[in-house]
Structures are given as C-alpha cells and as structure tokens.
A and B are shown apart, each in its own frame.
Chain A
Amino acid sequence: MNVSDTKKEFPIFDNKVHNNDLIYLDSANSSQKPRVVIDRIYDFYTKEFSNVGRSVHYLAIAATNLYENTRVSVQKYINALDKNEIVFTKGATEAINLVANTFGQKYLEEGDEVLLTELEHHSNYVPWHFLRKSKNIKIEFAEINNDGDITLDSIERKITNKTKIICVTHLSNVTGAILPIKDIAKLAHSKGIPILIDGCQGAPHLKLDMQDLDCDFYAISGHKMYGPTGIGILYAKKKWLDELPPYQGGGGMIKEVNKNVISYGDLPNKYEAGTMATAQVIAFNESIKFLEKIGIDNIEKHEKELLNYATEILGNNNSINIVGNPKNKGGVISFTIEGVHPHDIATILDEDGVAIRAGHHCCQILHQKLGLPATARVSFGVYNTKEDIDQLDKSIEKCKNIFNLK
C-alpha cells in the first residue's frame, strides 16, 4: 500500500491548519473523505438526482438502481447471505436504536436482562437504557480486565437465564481492544441468545464476514468508513428482520394503507421509512470501492504498523500513560500525560495542525471504571504515516514544555 498516493486522494490534506500541514489523528471519531466520494455526491445532485423507489420516470428509475447497487456492494463487502439483510439508517446510532426499540418491544419483559460490556460507546448503552424505563428490564455489564480487554469469560460470567440479548463492540474506541466476537457469538448461540455487534470501529479497519462471524445484528457507521455523514447500516439476519416489527412509520415502508388496517412492505422497505439519505447512500458505494481497491488486508497491516510505531514512541515517553494493553488491538491509542489535562493537550497539539480527540469519547462507564475523567486519543486511518506520529511526538514535547514538565 502506497500511503503517499492514498493521502493524495483526500482533498482535505491540501488545506493548512494554523499554517501547518494537517495531521489528522481522529479517524475513530470520523474519517476524512476521498475525492471519489465527494465527487459522487456532486455528480448525483447535478446530473442524476431524483427520489428513489416511487416514481416511474427516467431519473427515478436510475436513482433507485444506484441506491440499490450500494445495498448489493455492502452485502458483498460484509459477506451477508442476502441483500435484504442490509438496512440503511442515518448512522450506527440509529441502527442500534432500531434493534433496541423493535427487539425490546417484541421480546423483552420486566426483569429480562440485556448484557453489554464496560467498553460500550453511549450509542450501545443509552438505547437499551430506554427499555429500563419503559419495560423495567435490567442491564448488566461484562467487566474489563486490567488490560482494558473483554474476555470470553467476562461475558460468560454475566450470562443468566434472564439474558435476552448480548450487545458488544467489535473494537473499543478507547482501549482499541478487538473483541473475540466470533467466539462470543458461538457462546451466545449455545445458550439461545442473539448477539448485536457495534461495528463502528470494526467495519473501517477489519475484515468483515457476516456469515463467518454468525452475529445476529451488526451496526455500521458510514462516515467512519471514508463515507458521507448521514448514512449507517444495520446488518441483521433475515429471520430477525422478518420477525421484528417496523421501527418508524411513513412513506415507502407500507404495502397497503386503509382507515383501519395497514400492512407493511417487504424487506428492505419495511425498515426504510420516508426519503432516505439518497445521495449519501449512493456515494457510500464509492467508499466501499475505495476500501476494496486498497484491500482490507493492506489496511489492517498498515494500521498495525502505525499502532506499533506509535506505541513504541509514546511508550518511551515517561510522562505518558497509555490506557489499556489489550491482547488484540486496533489503531486507537488513548493516553494521559501526568500534569496536563487532555483538553489542554488537544488545544496545544491543534496549534501544530495535529488533530486528536480529548474527553470521555462517549464512554463514561469505561472512564469511571478507569478512574479517569478524560483521556487524549489518537486514532489512525489509511492516510496516516509514520511522519504523522513523529510530529505527534514533537507536539507532545511542546506540550510538556509549556507545562514545565521534564
């Protein structure tokens, strides 16, 4: 993989930040967009725009085909069995809300348990919390070990005969831990429990094979996969999408509407009410092609190299404490500097054009457990280089100088 060529495909890097080159180390938050994706949105609106799935005119038919082409591309990319197992949403958050809402309505009763982990992002906790209020369910958390990792054992320990669904992240956006989700799925299924994976951090960086993983639900965020904002994907096994009730009501999701009776549309229309983010879905096809062109194996290798390099450099810095040391780790490093608050680190780094994230990264449960109000986080994408890490290192030194640290 030739990184300098890859970087050139992202127009954002033509810009300066505070008169410096942009060093973008915040891809776990949202990735930058390659030109093909940006151009696709422009082209669609200038030459091809129409709403999809409704009218019979030329543009409507062409737009509908383009929209459905993305569904097939996603199906192939994640090796789902059926294209109707791909539901477009406004993001991974909506995908998880869709499952929590519909699964909760149909299958959860008072006293039932939903099993999460302490690593979960708020988007894989709050939707389930709603059911605590409306259905009086309980939420259990599998606990992290000292490395910031979730083991199969920690999940197994929390499973009871009341556990109705297990919802875990594929890759922690704080510790970088990659969970053994195939094993977790096997364990869950051996007890007759379905499993939902929050794939926000997994999908952009790891090889995906839904049939091999055998998970019931997998939520994907488009904007973290070099795609536009406003697009997410819910993968769900067809039997669930057939069985669960619709999520939102509106145009496009119905079969027949009478004053007393309404019947719902077939898949995938059943879960895609109203006008969807058409341009974004169509442009997302370019993101998939972009990822395929580089090759996920190359991406994994590249990001592993960056992770190792950055871990060595930051690890050699006595003032830095890296949060977590999971066995299997993705391209995310959260850290603290003794004596400098993460917000101050982020402001000082920004002055050099180095974009990182500071805060609790929407994982307050985890930060409470770690006893840290906030951490600084760097995360990698296809455009990052070792030189980016060298600049990060220099800017961290500047940070220490400003705060009079040795």
Chain B
Amino acid sequence: MNLKELYQEIILDHGKNPRNLRKTDNFNKDAKGYNPLCGDKVHVYLKLNENKKVEDISFEGSGCAISMASASIMTDLVRGKEEIEVKEIVSDFLDMIKEKNELSNKILKDDEKTKLMCLSGVKKYPMRVKCATLSWHTLTSALENSQITINTEN
C-alpha cells in the first residue's frame, strides 16, 4: 500500500519530533523557503567553520509530516560534512526524488542512505514532492548566500 510507504515509522518519528528544530547560535549562512500553496515555511541556519565544514545546522518552521521529517533527516545527515560534500548530497537527493531509483553519492554511509530513502515514498504523490524538497532547496540557497526566499511555485 502506498500510504504505508509514504508514512513510514521513521518519517512519523522525525515528523513528530524533528531533530535540530532550533536556531544555530552564531550561524553564518541562512535562507528561507516557502510553499505558497500550503503555507509551509522553513528557515535553515548553517554554521560553516574556516575549513568549510558544517559545524552546525538547524531549522525553524512548520509544515506537514513529510516536510518536517525531510528537514529533520537532512540536518542530521549533513552535519560534519564539508560544503562540497553537502552540495553533492543535496543534488543526489533531489535527483533521487525526481527520477532516479537510488542514491549514488559515496559520502553517506549505507544506513544513512537507507534513512534518506524513506522519503522516496513521495514519488507516488506528485503534489507532495515539494513538501520533501523544500528544505533541501533552502539549504542550497543558504550555501549560495543567494538571499532569495525559495518559493516552490517559482
């Protein structure tokens, strides 16, 4: 059944108790994301150290189980990674959600990939893909310091 694939325990857990739902002290990069169709909002905060490593990442916002779980899992997985690695993970995740069947990056460990693949259930729900990708696009915007609010409809 598709619903079971969409709402796996790990999604429900992260959706209900999102990790890193706070604001990083002394963050040096941030960006906002917004889905005007449903009102989901996310604000991603990053602290990159001098070696361009993610020392801390957090987010604030509100949204459905999928969007909160996605932001929660994302922040867990990219902490401690180098900026270039984060970008590769983001683009790999977005490719997987859009068309590929699996993740191909060599950065994440297998159990981390399994966790991320729990979000792949949204593929069968085109209207919900944006819920899963909003925080990831926002993370990209933060890394690029683009100062543009990510809008799922643009």
- A-side interface residues toward B, CB under 8 Å? 339-344, 347-348, 351, 358-360, 364, 367, 373-374, 402-404
Q: Are A402 and B37 in contact (CB under 8 A)?
A: no
Interchain Cβ contacts under 8 Å between A and B, 13 examples: A340-B65, A342-B38, A343-B64, A343-B66, A343-B131, A347-B6, A347-B125, A351-B2, A351-B3, A359-B37, A359-B38, A367-B39, A403-B65
Please count the residue pairs between chain A and chain B whose beta carbons lie under 8 angstroms apart in the complex: 51
Which B residue sits closest to A348, measured CB to CB?
B3
Q: Are A341 and B63 in contact (CB under 8 A)?
A: yes
Which A residue sits closest to B9, measured CB to CB?
A404
With a CB–CB cut-off of 8 A, which chain A residues contact B40?
343, 373
Q: Are B38 and A344 in contact (CB under 8 A)?
A: no
Q: Are A373 and B39 in contact (CB under 8 A)?
A: yes
Q: A341, A359, A367, A373: which contacts B65 (Cβ < 8 A)?
A: A341
With A341-B63, A341-B65, A348-B3 already in contact, the answer to whether A403 and B12 are too (CB < 8 A) is yes
Q: Are B7 and A374 in contact (CB under 8 A)?
A: no
Q: A340, A351, A374: which contacts B39 (Cβ < 8 A)?
A: A374
Q: Are B3 and A358 in contact (CB under 8 A)?
A: no
Shortest beta-carbon distance from A340 to chain B in Å: 8
Q: A339, A343, A351, A402: which contacts B38 (Cβ < 8 A)?
A: A343
Q: Are B39 and A359 in contact (CB under 8 A)?
A: yes
For residue B16, CB closer than 8 A to chain A, the reply is yes
Q: Are A339 and B39 in contact (CB under 8 A)?
A: no
Q: Are B39 and A364 in contact (CB under 8 A)?
A: yes
Q: A343, A373, A402: which contacts B128 (Cβ < 8 A)?
A: A343
Shortest beta-carbon distance from A404 to chain B in Å: 7
**Assembled-state Cα–Cα distance A364/B39 (Å):** 9
Q: What 0/1 pattern do residues 1 to 42 of B give for CB contact below 8 A with A?
A: 011001100001001100000000000000000000111110
With a CB–CB cut-off of 8 A, which chain A residues contact B68?
341
With a CB–CB cut-off of 8 A, which chain A residues contact B38?
342-343, 358-360, 374
Shortest beta-carbon distance from B33 to chain A in Å: 14
Which B residue sits closest to A403, measured CB to CB?
B12
For residue B62, CB closer than 8 A to chain A, the reply is yes
Q: Are B39 and A344 in contact (CB under 8 A)?
A: no
With A343-B38, A343-B131, A347-B128 already in contact, the answer to whether A402 and B64 are too (CB < 8 A) is no
Q: Are B64 and A344 in contact (CB under 8 A)?
A: yes
The 3 closest A-B pairs by CB, nearest first: A341-B64, A343-B64, A359-B38
Instruction: Known pairs A340-B65, A358-B38; list 9 more (Cβ under 8 Å).
Output: A343-B38, A343-B128, A344-B64, A348-B3, A348-B7, A351-B2, A402-B3, A402-B12, A403-B65
Shortest beta-carbon distance from A306 to chain B in Å: 26
**Assembled-state Cα–Cα distance A342/B63 (Å):** 9
